[in-house]
A and B are shown apart, each in its own frame.
Chain A
């Protein structure tokens, strides 16, 4: 057995499971949290702490992530995510336990709670010793694929990693190349919410801009939200339009991911149905499928993360009946 590097720290964030990526934008709140952790790791590397970050963007299953930690001989594993990641973190924890890998108590980043970063930092300082010199800060991410990052400041992610800089309701990409599940050539995201009127200059000529409408606004006035969204899609096409998932996590029982997409709420569900039927018909039948997953309490993407596909589990499923 290879000895572990006791000082190596890996922070893990489970992947974001996107059920309707053509209709919903990746979660900017998660993107901001990843950026915050990058900042923390980068700062601590300057102090000599060997901290790296796995943002879950390489589509590794939980078991594969655990195997990689073993290969990389990581001494301290830390898990973090948003409240909606609780189940995925549980799956990841099970995979780590399976490999007898120790990990610190998961840190969940609640909205409007700044203490999560401090909690992670404390865990690292309490359990790890810094080297005498700083560690290259460019290599914080261990991922092959760049995550979606949102920050108020330039420089997050290092010089080669694209990051969206927030300025009011505009997220402008600094750097080039693919970021998360966003279109690789995307340059700008404009968030349209109730507090901001729709820019009159939108004409769809710049297909490198994505317009994102906050789903939360549907609750207050579904009719106005529908008019705004249908007008937007008229001008920029469904490729230039996305909805922003709900930022507040609602525990609703069943397939809880659905609450992020408003499937638990009649007004939002009807809004989505109406919008897809009339404005983005290509997505309507798939929305029906996703509604079905939700109604049945299923979470197929998370099941795949847990390596629970039928062929993957075949031997266990039939262990009592094969002669």
Chain B
């Protein structure tokens, strides 16, 4: 452990989604970040040793710097967001980097910053700087020699250029060929033009590895332009810089760009599409990767809990949960146990308000709200835990849940939101002692709920079948008791009561003759 207190700690973030998708770019992501550092200062390049957030915090505590400087740019901004929260209340000053790449030590968007700037050698700044000299339809070739020195030159976008780059002996140099795509009104034409040229000889362009990079506009910078257009598809997080053009990414343009990407990188296409989906829904994979989430095992303390016994019944809409929950409650009360039924998914005004969020996603707009409404629902469940479950969980023999946390998990996967934060937040709920899944084929579920006047957002074939698939998967992984909801109600009721009786006998809550 280092004992000498240092004045300044400079942090360079590791690679992000742009380099994950196009690892060739790593050759350009150099470290030119030691300018202005004295011997008493330290520099940590987080890309040099796979640092996680926890490891970084530990190191910061060891070094105890007076000030932390984080490289400007989108990844630096994400790192700042993490450290700003983690170091809150501690006596260390952390600069707030700009979410946009900084070139020539000057910001390109004119937003305020606290004034600490340095050249991190970050890929975003390098690409942006090189793209300044390119006329529309041009490309940039970067050449990185053995010493790591990077040079760039403007190259045309023709099959001939691609062919000669493929044929050239690169003498061991690393080369990156970039197609800059500036966000703005000419973007569609630029994509179409590139598509037309590349489709003439896609193999040569593939061989030469032409990498399309958006000179991304971010939300903070987009407000003025938004006034001129209503087509806002998302609020793009800074760490997706380069992969998408910005907040405006209408379906028609998206489809055209997919075609270009497919021509150039068919082997990376599905990965790109997955990243795009995460980006549009407001997921920050860069931050998640750094935080190494879900790595910790849950405490065993809850498993040793004797009371109350927690039983959950899950299933898609139309699977018949409510009638089984009611029957189980009656049975246990009859046995002299104190029992309550709770729903952690609330309906009424709350549900309507949340649905309004979803409604705003119609037509492919504001897609980040789609994920937000999930997070709001998770928070409401947690609020319910603290407002309404404290007493029952402390005093009762049995608490029955009509749906439990697993329905949130199924919503995450089923709606393809990728919301690990939801899973982490829901760890405040006690583990269920027994979970039932009432599995019903989607067609049958739709038939059963077909008579309802109003349907929820999930009551259609597509969503119900995804929920069903996700719940069946969770049932396998978490040892649910799985029941066929198309079997007779009596048979299923009997199966539920038998399993619960066995559990309660094991816990000493029911006698053996029950």
Chain A contacts for B456, CB-based, 8 A: 320
Tell me the bound Cα distance from A316 to B416 in angstroms: 14
B470 contacts A285, C-beta separation under 8 Å = no
Answer whether residue A301 sits at the interface, using C-beta atoms and an 8 A cutoff.
yes
Asked if B113 is an interface residue, CB under 8 A from chain A, the answer is no
Picked from B49, B267, B281, the residue with its CB within 8 Å of the CB of A310 is B281
Whether, in the assembled complex, B145 has its beta carbon less than 8 Å from a beta carbon of chain A, the answer is no
- Interface stretch (choices A1-9, A16-24, A40-48, A122-130): A16-24
Q: Which residue of A lies closest to B14 (CB)?
A: A285
Bound form: Cα–Cα A106–B166 in Å: 39
- Among the 9-residue stretches A68-76, A132-140, A290-298, the one with 4 or more Cβ atoms under 8 Å from chain B is A290-298
What 1/0 flags go to B275-312 for Cβ under 8 Å of A? 01110110001101111111100000000000000000
Count contacts on B: residues with CB < 8 A to the other chain.
74
**Minimal Cβ-Cβ distance residue in A for B417:** A310
CA distance A300 to B459 in the complex (A): 23
- Would you give the shortest CB distance from A286 to chain B, in whole angstroms? 5
Q: Could you tell me if A318 and B359 are in contact, using CB atoms closer than 8 angstroms?
A: yes
Q: Which listed segment binds B: A108-116, A174-182, A226-234? A: A174-182
Is the CB–CB distance between A310 and B473 below 8 Å? no
Report the separation of the CA atoms of residues A233 and B476 in the bound assembly, to the nearest whole angstrom: 39
CB atoms of A253 and B359 under 8 A apart: no
Minimal beta-carbon separation of B359 from chain A (angstroms): 5
Docked CA distance A293–B289 (Å):
11
Contacts A145-B267, A178-B206, A284-B50 known; 20 new A-B pairs at CB < 8 A: A177-B203, A180-B267, A181-B268, A253-B473, A277-B49, A288-B52, A288-B289, A291-B295, A293-B418, A296-B423, A300-B416, A304-B277, A310-B277, A310-B280, A310-B367, A314-B361, A314-B367, A316-B462, A316-B463, A317-B462
A-B contact pairs, 28 of them (CB 8 A): A15-B270, A18-B267, A18-B271, A19-B271, A21-B268, A21-B271, A57-B267, A59-B270, A283-B50, A286-B289, A291-B294, A295-B294, A296-B294, A298-B418, A301-B270, A301-B274, A303-B416, A305-B270, A310-B281, A310-B361, A314-B362, A316-B463, A317-B358, A317-B462, A318-B457, A319-B460, A321-B355, A321-B457
In the assembled complex, the CB of A12 is this many whole angstroms from the nearest CB of chain B, namely 16
CA distance A39 to B454 in the complex (A): 57
Chain A CB within 10 Å — which of B286, B289, B477 has the most? B289
Q: Which of B205-264 contact A (CB under 8 A)?
A: 206-207, 209, 233, 251, 254, 262
For B290, list chain A residues within 8 Å (CB): 285, 288
**Cβ of B429 under 8 Å from chain A:** no
- Interface contact A57-B50, CB-CB below 8 Å: no
Given known contacts A292-B420, A311-B280, A59 and B413 CB-to-CB distance under 8 angstroms: no
C-alpha spacing A287/B285, complex, angstroms: 11
Q: Which residues of A (8-60) have their CB < 8 Å from a CB of B?
A: 15, 17-19, 21-22, 57-59
Partner of A289, one of B19, B285, B470: B285
**Residue of B26, B267, B290 most packed against chain A (CB within 10 A):** B267
Shortest Cβ-Cβ A-B pairs, 4 listed: A284-B50, A285-B289, A59-B269, A181-B267
Nearest A residue (CB) for B209:
A184
Q: Are the C-beta atoms of A297 and B413 separated by less than 8 Å? A: yes
Is B477 a contact partner of A254 (Cβ separation < 8 A)?
yes
Q: Which residues B399-451 have CB closer than 8 A to chain A?
A: 409, 412-413, 415-416, 418, 420, 423
CA distance A295 to B419 in the complex (A): 12
CB-defined contacts of A303 to chain B, threshold 8 Å: 274, 277, 416
Inside 8 A of A265's CB, which chain B residues have their CB? Answer: none
Task: Name B415's contact: one of A239, A282, A305, A317 (CB within 8 Å).
Answer: A317
List the A residue with the shortest CB-CB distance to B273: A304
Q: How far is the CB of B234 from chain A (nearest CB, A)?
A: 9
* Cross-chain contact A207 with B172 (CB below 8 angstroms): yes
Say yes or no for B455: interface residue by CB 8 A criterion. yes
Interface flag for A200 (CB, 8 Å): no
Q: Please state if A316 and B50 are interface contacts (CB–CB under 8 Å).
A: no
Closest Cβ of chain B to A149, distance in Å, is 14
How far is A57 from B270 in the complex, measured between Cα atoms in Å?
Answer: 11
Which of A301, A310, A322 is B362 in contact with, Cβ under 8 Å? A322
Which of B26, B49, B203, B413 is within 8 Å of A298, CB to CB? B413
Known contacts A277-B50, A292-B294; is-contact A309 B276 (Cβ 8 Å): yes
| CB-based nearest A residue for B466 | A308
Pick the residue among B202, B206, B292 that contacts A288 (CB under 8 A).
Answer: B292
Q: State in angstroms the CA–CA spacing of A313 and B417 once bound together.
A: 13
Q: How far is the CB of B257 from chain A (nearest CB, A)?
A: 12
Q: Is B386 an interface residue (CB 8 A)?
A: no
- The docked-state distance in angstroms from the alpha carbon of A59 to that of B23 is 19
Contact check, B274 vs A313: say whether CB atoms are below 8 A apart: no
> Which residues of the partner chain A approach B477 to less than 8 Å between Cβ atoms?
253-254, 297
- Given contacts A284-B14, A311-B280, whether A304 and B270 have CB atoms under 8 Å apart is yes
Minimal beta-carbon separation of B366 from chain A (angstroms): 11
Partner of A320, one of B292, B423, B460: B460
Are A22 and B462 in touch, CB under 8 angstroms? Answer: no
Given contacts A59-B262, A318-B362, A321-B358, contact A292 B288 (CB under 8 A): yes
Residues of B contacting A287 with CB < 8 Å? Answer: 289
User: How far is A184 from B463 in the complex, measured between Cα atoms in Å?
Assistant: 41
Q: Which of B270, B286, B361 contacts A17 (CB 8 A)?
A: B270
